[in-house]
A and B are shown apart, each in its own frame.
Chain A
Amino acid sequence: MSAVTEAEDELRVLLERAVPQLPAPAQRLERVRERMRRRRRRRTAAVGVSAVLAVAAVVAVPGLVRPHGGAAPAVVATGGPAPVRTTPVRGPEPTPTPRDGYRPDGMQGLVITPPAGWQLLEDPDTGSVFLSTQALVLPPNGCAHALDGFCTPLARVLKDGGSLVMFHLTYSKVQAQKLGDVAMPLEDEDVLRSCRTVNGTRQMGRTIVDQAPGSGNAVWAVACMAQPSTAQKEQVRLLVANADFG
């Protein structure tokens, strides 16, 4: 038997003996039921908020809705001193997006491949890039204090089949040595409140790590989708899964 196998067997025995036999709390199932009720209540509330936001976007802020889905310049202008680019990706006009990948400003070399027809918004203030099937506009107070850390700069809430993806740069010098272990695969996640409030029903996330030695750069990618079809999910999955530091 090899030394590795012996070590593995030792670890198995150790774990079996050392992991405690914890007592089950009284009424565990009742507590689980209560958690389910709370989840349902939150979802119901989120649907209500989404409906109100949808109405508000259409009725209360008429300047926000434009015939071609573009962003309202007045709102962007109040977003902060940094210039914000809203770029229609591969639209009818020439765009800065090369076919083999696009490097957003200030993202330390992150390369993404936006799907055709998607909108792109860069926010250098927070080190974030947003892509969506719908029009994007930075909120008046910026994205620095977004709910759950997931800013949702949509001109209107997501329509069914709509998607919003955020790439957010994080730098951690302390963790630089261990960042290789932070990388996490793309997976379904619980839908955050910030996603639900823009009508999102599904969420995926991934952490992308710059493998360059000592870089310390990592990007949290999160995708919020509203009632996506299989093809729409696949499109978002490819966008997030293929993003990487180049």
Chain B
Amino acid sequence: MGEGGFEQFVAARGQRLLRVAWLLTGDAHLAEDLLQTVLAKVWPKWPRIAEENPEAYVRRALVHTHASWWRRRWRGEVPHGEMPDRALPHDEYAGVDLEQALAAAVRALPVRQRAVVVLRYFEDLSVTETAQALGCSEGTVKSQAAKALRTLRGLLPAAVAVDGGECRD
């Protein structure tokens, strides 16, 4: 797969990868910046990457590049003192509020838990695959996932209700 292959890959998978980047950064502009940074790194290596599993490679690169940004800036993100207003059921803007609530909740997660949430629950990787992608043990993935779930359930009760689910203890 040559340069054309790379373009096809971006056309086919770019949208999904951008959503992964959004979930990591919680911001549309940062997400696009992250994705373009990673694509610029990946492109020169494309002939080699394309022979293996390019999507997994790019996904891993997204997580690691984001962690690297975060580490260098040492929590340079803008803190949000308050959660956005929550939507009432059947509110026509419920989707927007849910998105904002999720972005704020994701930003509240430590970077590693965020990566676990993205890989385990958005990309639906197994515990083993997530551990491999993050370079840590399966036990760490499980504990980080449990902590992230607790945090998100604390921050998103109304959002879950909007989504049709119920809060369970």
Residue ranges of A at the interface with B (Cβ–Cβ < 8 Å): 3-4, 6-8, 10-22, 24-25, 28-29, 31-33, 35-36, 39, 148-149, 170, 172, 175, 178, 181-190, 205, 207, 220
Contact = CB atoms under 8 A, between A and B. Distances in A.
Given A22-B32, A24-B18, A32-B36, A181 B122 contact: no
Q: Which secondary structure dominates where chain A touches chain B? A: helix
Nearest to A3: B168
Interface in B131-169: 134-136, 144-146, 149, 152-153, 156, 159-160, 163, 165, 168-169
Contacts of A25: 32
A181 B135 contact: no
B94 to A, nearest CB: 10
Contact of B22 (A10, A11, A22): A22
Contacts of A170: 74
Interface residues of B, number: 56
Contact of B37 (A6, A35, A184): A35
Contact of A20 (B22, B64, B134): B22
Contact of A15 (B23, B28, B41, B68): B23
A18 B135 contact: no
A190 to B, nearest CB: 7
A14 B136 CA distance: 26
B48 interface: no
A211 B31 CA distance: 32
A184 B169 CA distance: 31
A190 B68 contact: yes
A52 B31 CA distance: 38
Contacts of B71: 182, 184, 205, 207, 220
Contacts of A172: 74
Interface in B38-89: 39-41, 43-44, 64-65, 67-68, 71-72, 74-75
Nearest to A36: B40
